[in-house]
Chain A
């Protein structure tokens, strides 16, 4: 799972604290969550699917007020998932979501109009919900680190 760790680390370090940065981190987290859900045991996969749904919605909230984001931002993914090390993958997703949340909170301190403010509020809510789902999935499966 080195690829996921490294890619997530690069994204977290280099994503700007602006709309583009939030979109890129959210997009990467959403794709990674959906990818991981496909290979994870069903007990985790259900929660990861909920998280993917929340991340998708968070991204769409951003695109409602900034429709040009998908065209302008790099749509980076963290690569194919490794079913052996689900916990590590989940950690990487958690870091991406946390980074997106941190940038959203930083952006909330800027001069925003009401539409942007409402968008960031909804996005933050969805990101937090996704993080809860990802965290909640942790440790349930038996195919965790060190097994198989």
Chain B
């Protein structure tokens, strides 16, 4: 199972609700159950404090403490974690971790700790980035939103303190034992309420503009969609496999920045993926791709993107580097294109109105996310190619140079005559960079210009789906 951060947090919240309800409605069967519940309750408190330190690193906490104008939600979150720490103690591992989770509180703690581990996979031991999403918690609004959510969870948990004390005492546990475990945690709940009472969209610093609610929501959605940095590819369903493979390609494209494979072939493969992604997405939404002259006006941006990726592939075809391709990118490319040919065929005899009538929403969602992914890949590929070219790794066969290209360039003229490799002409590099720049933005901006719908076919719903993906699917 490939759980995301949001799913783990939601599972933790559900488990807390279940445990709270259970302890409110019925007694414990045995003293052992009561003792286990006390241990697990403390374990969850410890996990909540620990997760605060995942969202807010010790270095960031030190910055908050030293700041003249810290964000109140971060100050409150630090106070909450420190106060919980005084209650649960500093012994590691926490006693609750010695046993398999039995109660729902223990399951909630496990989900919370797993969520922290999931975030940790996006960083190196020195907190360097291991994925393009490693910077998600650097956004103060996202961090504040996540801390605020943690505060809500803490309040919910602490609501059960009185009920738990009652139920444990009913089993005959020694009052001193119960008092030691539940000494009265209202003060922690008060601090937790402070974390939730601040507006997370307020300016990060005096004088800065306030962020819009939708920006913050988009940032939190990106955090919630975060999975493991190297998840296994699920092959049980073609749509989930498609999403997993796109995620893996995205990661590899990003990794080329730090660890270039010096291969233009990999960049060409990514360009082919760009062509396939946009063309098949347009086909899924009902575009007629068999007629060059009459594309649907609302889906035209997708087809324009497909053409731009194709032009890019065409230009990159003429370039040569010394290294072989990235085999994983190629493997994913082949698998993705095969899946797309099956799920979103470009050529079909059905009229577009029929095709859009039964639109596969999960597939549409996956492909719209893929369109957003391609904008990231364009940005990183541009930087990768620029780096390759600057380090002198990109060449062109001398015999492929045109007369225009070799004019006023004695070195290129010599290469053309001898057939040796020559550095890629500046003009070619500029063209490629310009195309990549155009591909960096989503084809459907959040506020697209108004266009008249085609007569007889209503694609507005589909375009809205794509537009929403531009806002929330961009990761």
Q: What is the interface of chain A, defined by CB distance below 8 A to chain B?
A: 30-31, 34-35, 37-38, 40-43, 45-46, 49-50, 52-53, 56-57, 60, 64, 70-75, 83, 140-143, 148
Pick the contact of B275 from A30, A46, A56 — CB < 8 Å? A46
B145 contacts A by Cβ under 8 Å: no
Interface-located stretch among B25-33, B136-144, B312-320: B312-320
Q: A31 near B291 (CB under 8 angstroms)?
A: no
**In whole Å, how far is B328's beta carbon from the nearest beta carbon of chain A?**
16
Q: Is the C-beta of B259 less than 8 angstroms from some C-beta in chain A?
A: no
The smallest beta-carbon distance between B322 and chain A, in angstroms, is 10
CB distance B421 to A45 under 8 Å? no
Contacts of A74 in B (CB 8 A): 399
Kindly specify which of B66-74, B265-273, B353-361, B454-462 makes contact with the partner chain: B265-273
A56 to B263, CA, bound (A): 13
Q: Is the CB of B290 within 8 A of A140?
A: yes
Q: How far is the CA of A35 from the CA of B314 in the complex (A)?
A: 7
Establish whether residues B399 and A34, one from each chain, have CB atoms under 8 Å apart when the complex forms. no
Chain B residues lying within 8 Å of A83, measured Cβ to Cβ, are: 292
For B340, give the chain A residue with the smallest CB separation.
Answer: A46
* With A35-B314, A37-B314, A46-B306 already in contact, 9 other A-B pairs whose C-beta atoms are closer than 8 Å: A42-B303, A42-B307, A43-B346, A52-B314, A71-B398, A71-B421, A74-B399, A140-B290, A143-B291
Q: Is B289 interfacial (CB 8 A cutoff)?
A: yes
Query: What is the CB-to-nearest-CB distance from A146 to chain B, in angstroms, rounded to a whole number?
Result: 15
Q: Nearest CB to that of B303 among chain A residues?
A: A42
Q: Is the CB of B419 within 8 A of A71?
A: yes
Partner of B269, one of A31, A34, A53, A148: A53
Q: How far is the CB of A148 from chain B (nearest CB, A)?
A: 8
Asked if B82 is at the interface of the complex by the 8 Å CB criterion, the answer is no
A-B contact pairs, 5 of them (CB 8 A): A42-B282, A42-B289, A46-B279, A53-B313, A140-B290
Q: Please indicate the chain B residues that have their CB under 8 angstroms from the CB of A148 in the complex.
A: 293
Q: How far is the CA of A30 from the CA of B314 in the complex (A)?
A: 10
CB distance from A79 to the nearest CB of B (A): 13
Q: Which of A34, A41, A50, A70 contacts B320 (CB 8 A)?
A: A70
Q: Does B347 contact A (CB under 8 A)?
A: yes
Chain B residues with Cβ below 8 Å from A41 are 289-292
CB atoms of A34 and B347 under 8 A apart: no
Q: Which residues of A contact B346 (CB under 8 A)?
A: 42-43, 46, 140
**B416 and chain A: residue at smallest CB distance:** A75
| Contact residues in A for B14 (Cβ distance below 8 Å) | none
B265 and A52 form a contact (CB under 8 A): no
Is B434 engaged at the interface, CB distance under 8 Å to the other chain? no
A37 touches B310 (CB 8 A): yes
Closest to A37 in B: B310
Give the distance in Å from the alpha carbon of A83 to the alpha carbon of B303 in the complex.
Answer: 17
B418 interface hit (Cβ, 8 Å):
yes
The answer to whether B420 has its CB under 8 Å from any CB of chain A is: yes
Please name the residue on chain B nearest to A141 by beta carbon: B290
Q: Does B311 sit within 8 A of A, measured CB to CB?
A: yes
Given A43-B346, A53-B272, A141-B291 in contact, is the A31-B320 Cβ separation under 8 Å? no
B276 within 8 A of A: yes
B400 contacts the other chain (Cβ, under 8 Å)?
A: yes
Q: Given the complex, which residues of B lie within 8 Å of A75, measured CB to CB? A: 397, 399-400
* In the complex, chain B residues 273-304 whose Cβ is within 8 Å of any chain A Cβ: 275-276, 279-280, 282, 289-293, 303
The answer to the question of B337 belonging to the interface, with a C-beta cut-off of 8 Å to chain A, is: yes
Closest residue to A57 on the B side, CB-wise?
B265
Identity of the chain B residue whose Cβ is nearest the Cβ of A48 in the assembled complex: B310
Shortest distance from the beta carbon of B366 to any chain A beta carbon, whole Å: 18
Are B265's CB and A34's CB within 8 A?
Answer: no
State whether A140 touches B314 (Cβ < 8 A).
Answer: no
Q: Is A143 within 8 A of B399, CB to CB?
A: no
Residue pair B317, A31 in contact (C-beta under 8 Å): yes
Bound complex: CA of A56 vs CA of B314, how far in Å? 11
Nearest to B317 among chain A residues (CB) is: A34
Residues of B within 8 A of A52 (CB): 313-314, 317
B276 touches A42 (CB 8 A): no
Asked whether, in the complex, the Cβ of A49 is within 8 Å of the Cβ of B292, the reply is no
Please measure, in the bound complex, the distance between the C-alpha atom of A13 and the C-alpha atom of B49, giving whole angstroms. 77
By a CB distance below 8 angstroms, the chain A residues around B290 are: 41-43, 140-142
Q: How far apart are the CA atoms of A84 and B313 in the complex, in Å?
A: 22
Q: How far is the CA of A96 from the CA of B291 in the complex (A)?
A: 27
In the bound complex, how far is the Cα of B24 from the Cα of A94, in angstroms?
76
Residues of A within 8 A of B310 (CB): 37-38, 45, 49
Contacts of A142 in B (CB 8 A): 290-291
Closest to B347 in A: A140
Asked whether A43 lies within 8 Å of B289 as measured between CB atoms, the reply is yes
A31 to B268, CA, bound (A): 14
Interchain CA distance A8-B337 in the complex, whole Å: 30
Cβ-closest chain B residue relative to A76: B399
**B282, B291, B292, B310 pick with most chain A CB within 10 angstroms:** B292
In the assembled complex, the CB of B318 is this many whole angstroms from the nearest CB of chain A, namely 8
